[in-house]
Amino acid sequence: MTQIETVETLKRRMAETKALKGATDVLGWDQQTYMPTGGGGARADQITALSKVIHQMATGRETENLLEAAERDSKDLDPDSDDAAYLRVARRDFNRAAKMPEELVARMARITTLGYEAWHEARAASDYGKFAPWLEQILGLSREVAELRGYKESIYDALLDEYEPGMKASDVQSMFQAIKPDLVGLVKAVAALGPNAIDDSVLKRDFDEGRQEAFGKTVVSALGFDWTRGRQDRAVHPFCTSFTRGDVRITTRFEPNFLPAALFGSMHETGHALYEQGVGTRFDGNVLGGGTSLGVHESQSRLWENLVGRSKPFWQAFYPDLQQAFPEQLGSVAPADWYRAINKVEPSLIRVEADEVTYNLHILLRFEMEVALLEGKVSVGDAPALWNAKTEEYLGLTPPDDAQGILQDVHWSGGGIGYFPTYSVGNLLSVQLFEAANEALGGEVSAQIARKEFGPLHDWLQENIYQYGRKYDPRALVQRVTGRPLDPAPYLRYLQAKFGDVYGLSGKG
C-alpha cells in the first residue's frame, strides 16, 4: 500500500474506536442529566462493556499492525503535516492504552460509573461515609494505573500526564510558588479594607429560574455557541461534553438566590464548547479531534467566563439587558456597583463560585489533597478533616458540612485524580492567550466586546487554537501562539491591575 493508503486504513480503524468513545460519552452525559436512579446498575454494565471493547480495539494486534505499517510508510512526512501529527498522537494513545490490562480498564469503568452514583447520593445527603468506600477503591485503581504507566519523580505525574501531557507535579508546585505570594497579598490587601468594601448582596436576590435561563441563552448565543451543533441542559455539576464537533453539550446548575452560579457557569461551559465546536472538520472522527489538553481547554472556559464575562466592557454591553430581565432586582443597581459585586474578592467554600483571586487557592488545596491521598500520607477516613484544615489555612473558613467541603466536586468520583491542576494552568493561560489575541487585533478587543462584537476574538481563537484540535501538544501550541512557554506574568499583571482598580488598590499593587 502507499503511504496514504496505510494511513487512511489506520484512520478508518481508529475512527470506529473513536465512535465507540463518543457513544460512551453519550451514556455519561445521560447519566449526569436525565438517567433515573434505577438505571445506574445497567449503566455501569453498559459503560464497562464499551470500555472493554474500546480497549480491545485500541490495543489489539490489528491496530498495532496498522499503526506500525503507517509509521513505516510515513517516514518522509512533513513533521508539521496533519498526518504526521496524527501518527504521533495515535502512537501516544496506543502506548498509553497498551500498558493497561483489559481487566483493569473494565474495573475502572465499573467503579467510576457506580462511584459517580454514590457521590451524587452522598453529596445530596452530605454523607461522606457513603462515598468513602468508593474513593478508597478509586484511589487504589489510580495507583495501579500510575504504576503501570510509570513515572520518574512522583506517582502523581503518571496521572496528571493524561490531562496535561508533559506536565509534572513539580511543575505544578513551581506554578503555585510563582503565583501564591501575589494571590495571598491581594487577599490580604482586600481583607484589610474590611468585609463591606464591596456589597454583593444584589447577587443574592430572588432570581426567577426561567428568566435566568433565557438571559443565559442570549449570552451563550452572543458568544458564538452554535445551537444546531449543541445543547444546554441541567446537571448537578456543570460540565461540557463533546461527542463530535457537531454535537457539543453544556450543562448548567441554577441557583434561585445566587445569580452568578448559572450566569458565569454558562459562559464558562460555553468557552469549552466553542473550542470543541471549532475543531477543524478535517479532524471529524479522527484522533486529532477534541481539545489538546485540559489546561488549554480550561484557558478557553476561563477566557470567556472571566476575561470576557467579568469584564467592564462586557457589562457595558449587557447590563441594560440584564436589568430588563430583572427590573425589580437590578433596576436600581448602578452599573459600577454591579461590576464591583461580580468581582468581589472573598474567600468562599465552593470552588466553582470562587472569585478570580481565591480560585487558585481552591486548586492548590485539591492538588495537595490528591498528592497526600495518592501517596497514602492521609487516609480516606481522615481526608475530610485535612480538607477542612486546609480550607481554614488557605481561605480562613471551615466547611459546615462535607457537601460544602470534600464532597463538592464530581471529579474524584469519576476517576479524575490529577485533573485539578489543569484549572490553574487554564487560569494562567487564559490571560496569556487573551493578550496575544488582543495584540493581534490591534488592542481593540475590549472595544469590540463593548459593542457585543465577539466575532473577531472568536475568529482569532478559532484560527490560532480551536481548528487544530490535538494537532499541537499544549506546550507546542502555547509556544506557537504566544511565542513563549506558559508564563504566570501576564496572569499576575492582570489580577493586580483588575483588582487594584476594583478595590482602589492601585498604589499598593
Which residues bind to its own copies, rule: CB under 8 A?
A: 15-16, 19-20, 22-24, 26-27, 30, 34-43, 45-50, 52-53, 226-231, 233, 243-247, 284-285
Query: Judged by CB, which is closer to its own copies: 48, or 422?
Result: 48
CB of 230 to its own copies, least distance (A): 6
Are 485 and 477 a contacting pair, CB within 8 Å?
no
Residue 231 dihedral angles phi and psi, to the nearest 5° = -160, 170
* Residue listed under C-alpha cell 499541537: 472
CB 25 → its own copies: shortest distance, Å? 9
Q: List, in order, residues 6 or more apart from 273 with CB less than 8 Å away.
A: 225, 230, 240, 242, 248, 249, 250
Which of 199, 233 has the CB closer to its own copies? 233
DSSP symbol at 34: T
Active-site residue flag, 269: yes
Comparing CB distances to its own copies, the nearer of 245 and 344 is: 245
Q: Which residues 6+ apart lie within 8 Å of 462 measured at CB? A: 278
CA–CA gap between residue 446 and residue 457 (Å, rounded): 10
State the minimum distance, in angstroms, from the CB of residue 50 to its own copies: 6
Residue 442: phi and psi, rounded to 5, are 65, 30
Give, rounded to a whole angstrom, the gap between the first and last alpha carbons of the chain.
64
Shortest spacing between CB 233 and its own copies, in angstroms: 7
For CA atoms 43, 49, 54, 59, the dihedral sign is positive
For the CB of residue 234, give the shortest distance to its own copies in the complex, in Å. Answer: 12
133, 145, 134: which is closest to 99 by C-alpha? 145
**Distance of closest approach, residue 40 Cβ to its own copies, in angstroms:** 8
Nearer CB in complex with its own copies: 116/420: 116
227 to 264, 274, 305: CA distances (angstroms): 19, 11, 19
The DSSP annotation for 395-445 comes to HS---SSGGGTTTS-SGGGGT-TT-THHHHHHHHHHHHHHHHHHHHTTT-H
CB of 245 to its own copies, least distance (A): 8
Report d(CA 156, CA 372) in Å as an integer: 10
Rounded Cα distance between 81 and 71, Å, is 14
Choose between 50 and 98: whose C-beta lies nearer to its own copies: 50
Closer residue to its own copies (CB): 230 or 399: 230
Strand partners, 190: none
Q: Which residues pair with 313 in a beta bridge?
A: none
Q: How far is the CB of 210 from its own copies (least distance, A)?
A: 12
Q: In the chain, count of helices (H) and strands (E)?
A: 21, 3
Instruction: Please say which residue, 38 or 442, places its beta carbon nearer to its own copies.
Output: 38
Return the ∠ at Cα 257 (arms to 251 and 259), rounded to 5°.
55
Out of 164, 269, 276, 370, pick the active-site residue: 269
Nearer to its own copies, 196 or 228 (CB): 228
User: How many Å separate Cα 178 from the centre of its chain?
Assistant: 21
Contact call for residues 488 and 424 (beta carbons, < 8 A): no
- Please give the positions annotated as active site: 269
